[in-house]
Structure 1
């Protein structure tokens, strides 16, 4: 991944987070929503935006539907202040890395507690 794409990933992550906090008025998108990562494709035409909610994935489908419906808004607002040739199309994806981490910790704890002591 090029240095430019890494910088744009960070910039878009911050911009989308700021827009969520200040501009979006959809009740499905509350303040417990977190933009964890942005991953722009090498051709810069698409970007996966990984999000999670602190309360878990209970309303995952509603949240993703609202975000993907607002993807054009995010793209337009970020394009206004970003000087790049191609503004990627944003695709919002549920981030499961936190859930995987919790699951992995649980499995490690189970293994540790079931080992015979020396």
Structure 2
């Protein structure tokens, strides 16, 4: 049976890699990335040899595609930075993905806000009708 590893260790390494990539985006990227790019999460298997990096890009769809392309092109450079900063036995191979969770949260918040505005717009009419009676 394959060793599943310690879940706490994996979670700790995921957080450290997330923070290190964020540092690289702030200090190491020479040219600015399109849109506002944040590292949403990092997911790794128990062997810590690969990392799926989910990034959130606030901007247009074109900005998302371009940011993802640039990050994937510079993945080796980011891996080297992680290797120097964290001094891990194996530096994980990075693969970047767009995190759609942030978009979904914003969409739900927008819907809830619209519903609240609609509810508030109906309330005064009901109150004024009851005053007439």
TM-score after normalising by structure 2: 0.72
C-alpha displacement of 1:105: 3.5
More helix by percentage: 2
- Paired residue secondary structure (2:96): strand
Aligned to 2:20: 15
- Deviation per CA, 1:19-39: give whole Å up to 9, x if none: 111111123x16821111111
RMSD value over aligned CA atoms? 2.5
1:26 to 24, 31, 34: 31
C-alpha displacement of 1:9: 0.8
Aligned to 1:90: 94
Between the two proteins, the alignment pairs up a number of residues equal to 116
TM-score after normalising by structure 1: 0.80
Where structure 1 has 5 or more consecutive residues not aligned to the other structure, the ranges are none
1:61 to 62, 65, 69: 65
2: CA distance between counterparts of 1:6 and 1:82?
A: 15
In terms of Rg, which structure is larger? 2
2: CA distance between counterparts of 1:106 and 1:77?
A: 38
Pairing of 1:30-45 with structure 2 (within 5 A): 32-45=36-49
Whether the aligned pair in 1 keeps the contact of 2:41 and 2:55 (CA below 8 Å) is yes
